[in-house]
Homo-oligomer: A and B are copies of this chain.
Amino acid sequence: MKRRQFLKLGAAAGTGVAAATLSAPAIAQSMPEVRWRLASSFPRVLDTLHGAADTLSKRVAEMTDNKFQIQVFPAGELVPGLQVLDAVQAGSVECSFTTGYYNWGKDTAFAFTTGIPFGLNARMGEAWYQHGGGLELVQELFAQYNTHVIKMGDTGGQMGGWYRKEINSVEDLKGLKFRIGGFAGRILAKMGAIPQQIAAGDVYPALEKGTLDAVEWIAPTDDEKFGFVKVAKFYYFPGWWEGGASGHFLVNMGKWNELPKYYQAILTSAAHDAGSWFTAKYDYSNPAALKRLVAQGAILKPFPIPVMDAGYRATEEACAEEAAKNPRFKKMYDSVAAFRKDAYQWWQVNELSFDTYQVRAQTRT
Contacts and interface: CB of A to CB of B under 8 A. Distances in A.
Contacts of A106: none
Interface stretch (A11-19, A140-148, A208-216): A11-19
Contact of A353 (B18, B128, B238, B284): B238
Given A124-B283, A269-B63, A281-B130, A13 B21 contact: yes
Specify how many copies of this chain sit in the oligomer: 2
Contacts of A295: none
B123 A65 contact: no
Interface residues of A, number: 105
A237 B122 CA distance: 22
Interface stretch (A71-79, A165-173, A177-185, A341-349): A341-349
B1 A27 contact: yes
Interface string A205-231: 000000000000001100000000000
B347 A359 contact: yes
A362 B341 contact: yes
A67 B28 contact: yes
A333 interface: no
Contacts of A272: 269, 272-273, 276
Interface string A9-34: 11011110110110011111111110
B273 A354 contact: no
Nearest to A349: B237
A248 interface: no
A300 interface: yes
Contacts of A361: 118, 312
Contact of A351 (B64, B156, B308): B156
A362 B345 contact: yes
A42 to B, nearest CB: 19
A350 B236 CA distance: 9
Interface string A329-357: 00000000001111111111111111111
Nearest to A361: B312
A62 interface: yes
B238 A65 contact: no
Interface string A228-245: 000000000111100100
B121 A346 contact: no
A150 B128 CA distance: 25
Nearest to A315: B361
Given A1-B27, A123-B123, A237-B353, A260 B65 contact: yes
Contact of A265 (B62, B305, B342, B362): B62
A351 B121 contact: yes
Interface stretch (A85-93, A94-102, A193-201, A286-294): A286-294
User: 7 smallest A-B Cβ distances: which pairs?
Assistant: A62-B265, A29-B31, A287-B342, A131-B284, A127-B283, A238-B354, A127-B284
16 contacts: A10-B17, A13-B15, A15-B15, A24-B30, A28-B32, A121-B354, A121-B355, A123-B280, A127-B281, A131-B281, A159-B349, A220-B346, A272-B272, A272-B276, A341-B362, A355-B355
